[in-house]
Structure 1
Amino acid sequence: MFKKYLSYILPIKIYQKKSNVSKNLEVTWNNGQLVLDSENTNYSFGSLQRILRKGLKYIGFKRIQNFDSVLVLGVAGGSVIKTLVEEVKFTGKITGVEIDEEVVKIAKSYFKLNEIPNLELVIDDAFEFVLKTKEKYDLIIIDIFQDTTMPNFLFEDFFIKRINFLLKVNGFILFNTMVLGFQDRRRNAIYKSKFDQNYSVRMYPKIEVHNELFTIKKLA
Structure 2
Amino acid sequence: MIRKFFSYIIPIKIFKKKSARSKMIEVTWANGELVLDTENTNYSYGSLQRILRYGLRNIGYENILKMDHILLLGVAGGSVVKTLVDEIEYKEKITGVEIDPEMIQIANQYFNLNQIKQLEVVIDDAFEFVLKTKDKYNLIIIDIFEDTHMPNFLFEKFFLDRICTLLKDKGYVLFNTMILDEAHNVRNRKYISEVNSELFTTKMLPRIETHNEIIIINKVA
Flag whether TM exceeds 0.5 (same fold): yes
The one-letter code of the counterpart of 1:117 is K
The one-letter code of the counterpart of 1:138 is N
Q: Within the alignment, does 1:190 sit opposite 2:190 as a pair? A: yes
**Please, what is the CA RMSD of the aligned residues?**
0.7
Instruction: Report how far residue 205 of structure 1 moved.
Output: 3.6
Q: Within the alignment, does 1:214 sit opposite 2:211 as a pair? A: no
**Native 8 Å contact 1:201 1:214 kept in 2:** yes
Which residues in structure 2 correspond to 1:76-155 (within 5 Å)?
A: 76-155=76-155
Instruction: Report how far residue 169 of structure 1 moved.
Output: 1.1
- Spell out, residue by residue over 1:87-123, the C-alpha distance to the aligned partner (whole angstroms, 9 max, x if none): 1111010000000011000010000010001000111
Instruction: Report how far residue 195 of structure 1 moved.
Output: 1.1
> What is the rounded CA distance, in whole Å, between the counterparts of 2:9 and 2:59 in structure 1?
35
The one-letter code of the counterpart of 2:87 is E
The one-letter code of the counterpart of 1:92 is E
> What is the rounded CA distance, in whole Å, between the counterparts of 1:208 and 1:161 in structure 2?
28
> What is the rounded CA distance, in whole Å, between the counterparts of 1:30 and 1:149 in structure 2?
24
Q: Within the alignment, does 1:164 sit opposite 2:184 as a pair? A: no
**Native 8 Å contact 2:169 2:220 kept in 1:** yes
Equivalent position SS for 1:208: coil
Instruction: Report how far residue 158 of structure 1 moved.
Output: 1.1
**Native 8 Å contact 2:35 2:44 kept in 1:** yes
> What is the rounded CA distance, in whole Å, between the counterparts of 2:134 and 2:34 in structure 1?
35
> What is the rounded CA distance, in whole Å, between the counterparts of 1:168 and 1:198 in structure 2?
12
- Spell out, residue by residue over 1:104-151, the C-alpha distance to the aligned partner (whole angstroms, 9 max, x if none): 000100000100010001111000111111000000000000000000
> What is the rounded CA distance, in whole Å, between the counterparts of 1:169 and 1:218 in structure 2?
6
Instruction: Report how far residue 206 of structure 1 moved.
Output: 2.3
The one-letter code of the counterpart of 2:38 is S
Provide the aligned length of Structure 1 versus Structure 2.
220
Equivalent position SS for 2:85: helix
> What is the rounded CA distance, in whole Å, between the counterparts of 1:7 and 1:35 in structure 2?
11
**Native 8 Å contact 1:69 1:137 kept in 2:** yes
**Native 8 Å contact 1:135 1:166 kept in 2:** yes
> What is the rounded CA distance, in whole Å, between the counterparts of 1:207 and 1:9 in structure 2?
24
Equivalent position SS for 1:47: helix
- Spell out, residue by residue over 1:155-179, the C-alpha distance to the aligned partner (whole angstroms, 9 max, x if none): 0011111101111110000000000
Structure 1's consecutive aligned runs of 4 or more residues displaced over 4 angstroms after TM superposition are: none
TM-score (norm 1): 0.99
Unaligned ranges ≥5, structure 2: none
**Native 8 Å contact 2:160 2:195 kept in 1:** no
Instruction: Report how far residue 63 of structure 1 moved.
Output: 0.6
Give the stretch that moved more between structures: 203-212 or 87-96: 203-212
% identical aligned pairs: 61
TM-score (norm 2): 0.98
**Native 8 Å contact 1:13 1:29 kept in 2:** yes
Equivalent position SS for 2:91: coil
> What is the rounded CA distance, in whole Å, between the counterparts of 2:60 and 2:192 in structure 1?
21
- Spell out, residue by residue over 1:15-64, the C-alpha distance to the aligned partner (whole angstroms, 9 max, x if none): 00101110000000000100000000000000000000000000000110
The residue number in structure 2 matching 1:55 is 55
